[in-house]
Amino acid sequence: MLAFALTLSLAAAPPSSPDALALVRRYDAVMSPANFEAQTKMVATREDGTTRTYKMKTQKSGKDKLRAQFLEPASAKGQEMLRNGENLWLWMPNLKRAVRVASRDSFMGGDFNNADVLRVNYEADYQPSIETGDPAGDVLVLKAKAQSAAYDAIKLWMTRDKDPQPIKAEFYAASGKILRKAEFFDVKDFGGGLVRPSRIKMTNEISAGRSSEMSWEAITLKDEIPAQRFVLDDLGR
Amino acid sequence: MLALALLLPCDLELQGSVAERVQATVPNEDSLLSTRDVPELLSLSEVNAQVRGGLLDDHLRLGVDASAFLPVQGGYADRDVDTGQLVEVDPDVVTPPDPRIALSEWWLSAEPVPHLLLTAGKKRSTWGSGQMASPSDVLNPPRDPTDPALQRAGFLHLRADAAFESWTVSALFAPGVLRTANSLPAELLLDDDDELHYAAALRGYALLFDTDVNAWVVWSNRYGDAFENHLRYAFSLSRTIFLEHEVHADVLVEQGSTRLYVEPDCVGGPRAILACALAGTPIADDALLDSERVLPKILVGWRWMPPDGSMVTAEYLYQADGMVKAEYDDLKEIAVLAGTAQRSGAPGAVALPGAPADGGDETPVRVSFAPQRRHYLLLSWLKPQVADDFTLQASAIVPVEDLSMLVSGSVAWQAQQWLTLSVLGFLPVPSPAMLSYRTDDDPLGAFYQDLPQDWRGWFPRGATVEGGPHGDFDGGPFHARIMIEARAYF
């Protein structure tokens, strides 16, 4: 009975409870700062235990422009992905042109989708609310504002301290079925005041045994990245 | 220019692949043209190297895409004129292809001021949105519709782009390359008769309401075709809808056409051809070259990209200058005569109007295709990550007017991250008209004859020539072709 009462008192958030919108902004700020260049590695583990490794360089400008250039493996080297607002393109070196791709497509065949990597802007894409009863941290419940969001709903756990960091997340389809789970590891100081997890492990809940881990080797914050790096005609150059 | 650039302080990256393709072809005894030059077995080895990088602290960028090809081939067969059966051809009468180097791209690019991009060299510039075919693409070498993921070769040009956040303006000048030596231009722009060969284009791009919109004009003079002082208008759109679908349009509008049509007076057998020869009448003529008729080419397409990574594409191509049945009948009849002449040992090569180009000095295409008729359906399907490492692909080119088709399929296995093993097959499927002809009672033919005259045009019919009706792919050089390819990346 005491435990039940305690739960109730925690669920009824006091006026000093964290603000959902502020927490979403905090997540966007640490996981996807406005202007940066980064070296990233993704290791995709398949059902048979074998792995595929991809290395890429990413550049981001503002809230909705991102460019990823693949450096490894040799079979993917030269491929580039560009996001501008709602639009995603893939530039293929053997095609010498860009084709549009869907935001919910798998990112390089791994367990992240394109939007997970290229479209981290939860404030724009989701309506947040907060649950405070979980001892693991504050739980943000994010409901998609539009169909163009990567998922229909996300539950996101953030640490309950002065500078909240993401701990884990669950990603849901419209039916309520869980699609993926993410865990955030190794909070690291990347310089320029950016402190954030340097690894995310995404587990595929549809295909048992599959997971992908994205790790950020370096992130350099920039005042500005020239706008012409985010136009179609610059791809493949 | 490029060699000089390589002497500058640079930060270059090399990547590429080594590939071996073994190809087996089953010759078609019903082929309209001789198959004596078509090898039954072909081994094609390729070393591809792509260099890309920055010079002078990235103020200059360069790109090179070069391949060396070593073809080895053997086994030839052709139809015997008397018996109609396939017979072996003496390999000594066939000239096998030489090893060659293809420079698909070599270019330098600079950004002297922000937003202004200057590019010089040989580079692929694609503004059309068509996937398997692009009617607006009059500058790049022709693409292989069965292999939309491998189109590397560009064209020589100078280009300036003013690129901003959601719009770009481009200007381009392309001198015609009249002769190459060792894959490099040896003669360009001006021919022996002091005629200029060039194309110039002005293009605008905008990302409007989440739609890629391209519009451009091309002014050309004897650039890759017989048009002189010719203006073309081109337009393309591409947009994602309902998250998983992409729709596109790719349009070329011009007056006249360079397509060669067979002169009807020359059709009717060897005597008619002889009469044309004596009268100095060309067998084929670009009759619409100076026409003021507006003859658009329009491609509309749809692509479905479900979350499993697969892709389904359907495109429809309309060519206003494409051949109607009577014109196609004439072309096929001339093809039959040309084939007979070839098999009888006529000297010199026989070139048919509109025959597909072999790509010249460029990368060899797997199947060449030059659309002759008015309506085509282009279909493709791709499914990656089957059992993690396999990619399945299938495509079909369907001339709507005769419903013959060229079907291709492939299975690619990514055995290692650096190694892909593929099996590819190509199968021409006869038109219903051809199948009907081959049966004794010809049910389709009887059905067709019973139709009211006005309705007949609505039903697919191939050309009616000696040897039966022929659709686009009925009289091709092979029954089937299979390829096995190993490609290792570095």
Please indicate whether, in this complex, the C-beta atoms of A94 and B240 are within 8 angstroms of each other. Answer: no
Which residue did the predictor score with more confidence, B213 or B52? B213
Does the residue B283 lie in any domain? yes
Res. B250: pLDDT tops 50: yes
B window 236-255, beta carbon within 8 A of A: 238-240, 243-244, 246
**Are the CB atoms for B460 and B401 separated by under 8 Å?**
yes
Q: Encode pLDDT of A19-41 as tens digits.
A: 999 999 999 999 999 999 999 99
Least confident of A221-225, B75-79, B366-370: B366-370
Residue A20: what pLDDT?
93
- Tokens 């009888």 appear where? B344
A237 band by pLDDT with thresholds 50, 70 and 90: confident
Residue A94: what pLDDT?
80
Please indicate whether, in this complex, the C-beta atoms of B117 and A234 are within 8 angstroms of each other. Answer: yes
Nearest CA to B384 among B312, B487, B308? B308
Q: Which residues of B1-10 are buried (b: 16+ CB within 10 A; e: fewer)?
A: ebeeeeeeeb
Which residue did the predictor score with more confidence, B312 or A7? B312
Least CB–CB distance from A97: residue in B15, B126, B388: B126
- State how far the alpha carbon of B154 is from the alpha carbons of A99, B104, B133, in Å: 18, 6, 16
Tally helices (H) and strands (E) across chain B: 6, 26
Percent pLDDT > 90 in chain B is 61
A2 band by pLDDT with thresholds 50, 70 and 90: very low
CA distance A108 to A98: 16
Does the residue B14 lie in any domain? no
A75 band by pLDDT with thresholds 50, 70 and 90: confident
- Tokens 């396939």 appear where? B86
Q: Encode pLDDT of B287-297 as tens digits.
A: 999 999 999 99
Least CB–CB distance from B163: residue in A104, A233, A236: A233
Q: Encode pLDDT of A94-146 as tens digits.
A: 888 899 998 888 888 888 888 888 888 899 999 999 987 888 889 999 999 98
Nearest CA to B261 among B222, B295, B229? B295
Does the residue B17 lie in any domain? no
Q: How many CB pairs under 8 A join A and B?
A: 118
Structural domain harbouring B54: 2-9+22-489
Other beta carbons less than 10 A from residue B64's beta carbon: 20
Q: Does any CB of chain A come closer than 8 Å to the CB of residue B234?
A: no
**Are the CB atoms for A176 and A141 separated by under 8 Å?**
no
CA distance A43 to A204: 14
B window 414-453, beta carbon within 8 A of A: 414, 417-418, 420
Q: What is the DSSP string of B374-438?
A: SEEEEEEEEEEEETTTEEEEEEEEEETTT--EEEEEEEEEEEETTEEEEEEEEEEEPPHHHHHHH
Number of domains in chain B: 1
Which chain A residue shows the shortest CA-CA distance from B62?
A237
Nearest CA to A28 among A107, A119, A115? A119
Task: Please tell me what DSSP assigns to residue B132.
Answer: S
If phi > 0 it is left, if psi is from -120 to 50 it is alpha, else beta; for residue A174 that is alpha
Please indicate whether, in this complex, the C-beta atoms of A231 and B309 are within 8 angstroms of each other. Answer: no
Does the residue B75 lie in any domain? yes
SS (H, E, C) chain A: CHHHHHHHHHHCCCCCCCCHHHHHHHHHHHHCCCCEEEEEEEEEECCCCCEEEEEEEEEEECCCEEEEEEEECCCCCCCEEEEECCEEEEEECCCCEEEECCCCCECCCCCCEHHHHHCCCHHHHEEEEEECCCCCCEEEEEEECCCCCCCCEEEEEECCCCCCCEEEEEEECCCCCEEEEEEEEEEEEEECCEEEEEEEEEEECCCCCCEEEEEEEEEEECCCCCHHHHCHHHCCC
- Tokens 């000093």 appear where? A16
Please indicate whether, in this complex, the C-beta atoms of A228 and B207 are within 8 angstroms of each other. Answer: no
Residue A159: what pLDDT?
94
Which chain B residue shows the shortest CA-CA distance from A83?
B210
Chain B residues in contact with A104 (beta carbon < 8 A): 243-244, 307
Chain B residues in contact with A97 (beta carbon < 8 A): 124, 126
Mean per-residue pLDDT over chain B, rounded: 88
Res. B431: pLDDT tops 70: yes
Residue B269: what pLDDT?
85
Q: Which domains does chain A have, with CATH numbers?
A: 19-234 (2.50.20.10)
Rounded to an integer, what is the distance from CA B351 to the centroid of its chain? 17
Q: Does any CB of chain A come closer than 8 Å to the CB of residue B168?
A: yes
Nearest CA to B154 among B172, B142, B166? B142
Residue A16: what pLDDT?
45
Per-residue pLDDT averaged across B343-353, rounded? 64
By DSSP bridging, strand B100-113 and strand B261-262 are unpaired
Task: Please tell me what DSSP assigns to residue B224.
Answer: S
Q: Which of B109, B210, B362 to mutate to test the interface with A (most CBs of A within 10 A)?
A: B210
Q: Which of A94, A179, A211 to mutate to test the interface with B (most CBs of B within 10 A)?
A: A94
Residue B452, exposed/middle/buried by CB under 10 A (0-12, 13-18, 19+)?
exposed
Three-state DSSP at B226 gives coil
Residue A46: what pLDDT?
87
Residue B46 distance to chain A (closest CA, Å) = 15
B window 361-390, beta carbon within 8 A of A: 384-385, 388
A12 band by pLDDT with thresholds 50, 70 and 90: very low
Q: Encode pLDDT of B44-75 as tens digits.
A: 999 999 999 888 878 899 999 999 999 999 99
B457 band by pLDDT with thresholds 50, 70 and 90: low
Per-residue pLDDT averaged across B250-268, rounded? 94
Q: Encode pLDDT of B131-142 as tens digits.
A: 999 999 999 988
Least CB–CB distance from A74: residue in B15, B126, B305: B15
Does the residue B358 lie in any domain? yes
- CA B119-B125-B131 angle, 5° bins: 160
**Are the CB atoms for B265 and B272 separated by under 8 Å?**
yes
Least CB–CB distance from A105: residue in B111, B126, B309: B309
Residue A7: what pLDDT?
41
Q: Encode pLDDT of B463-473 as tens digits.
A: 777 767 788 88
Q: Does any CB of chain A come closer than 8 Å to the CB of residue B490?
A: yes
Does the residue B285 lie in any domain? yes
Res. B183: pLDDT tops 90: no
Res. B4: pLDDT tops 70: no
CA distance A197 to B166: 33
CA distance B5 to B61: 10
Identify residue A228 by its one-letter amino acid code.
Q
Half-sphere exposure of residue B37, counting CA atoms within 13 Å on the CB side?
Answer: 12
Q: Hey, what long-range contacts does B4-10 have (CB within 8 A, 24 or more apart)?
A: B5/B55, B5/B60, B5/B62, B5/B108, B6/B62, B8/B55, B8/B56, B8/B60, B9/B55, B9/B56, B10/B53, B10/B54, B10/B55, B10/B56, B10/B62
Residue A207: what pLDDT?
85
Which chain A residue shows the shortest CA-CA distance from B117?
A234
Mean per-residue pLDDT over chain A, rounded: 88
Least confident of A7-16, A161-170, B267-276: A7-16
Does the residue B16 lie in any domain? no
Please indicate whether, in this complex, the C-beta atoms of A109 and B170 are within 8 angstroms of each other. Answer: no
Please indicate whether, in this complex, the C-beta atoms of A75 and B166 are within 8 angstroms of each other. Answer: no
Max mean pLDDT range (A94-98, A155-159, B430-434): A155-159
Res. A149: pLDDT tops 90: no
Q: Encode pLDDT of A206-216 as tens digits.
A: 888 899 999 99
- Provide the β-strand partners of residue B373: B323
Res. B94: pLDDT tops 60: yes
B window 92-121, beta carbon within 8 A of A: 105, 109, 111, 114-115, 117
Per-residue pLDDT averaged across B187-194, rounded? 91
Q: In chain A, which residues touch B (CB < 8 A)?
A: 46-48, 50, 52-53, 73-75, 77-78, 84-88, 92-97, 99-106, 109, 113, 147-148, 226-228, 230-234, 236-237
Please indicate whether, in this complex, the C-beta atoms of A96 and B212 are within 8 angstroms of each other. Answer: no
| Backbone phi and psi for residue A142, each to the nearest 5 degrees, phi listed first | -110, 125
Residue B353: what pLDDT?
52
Residue A132: what pLDDT?
79
- Provide the β-strand partners of residue A57: A39, A69
Least CB–CB distance from B163: residue in A95, A97, A228: A228
- Global pTM reads 0.89
Q: Encode pLDDT of B7-25 as tens digits.
A: 666 788 899 999 999 999 9
A1 band by pLDDT with thresholds 50, 70 and 90: very low
Q: What is the CATH number of the domain that holds B144?
A: 2.40.160
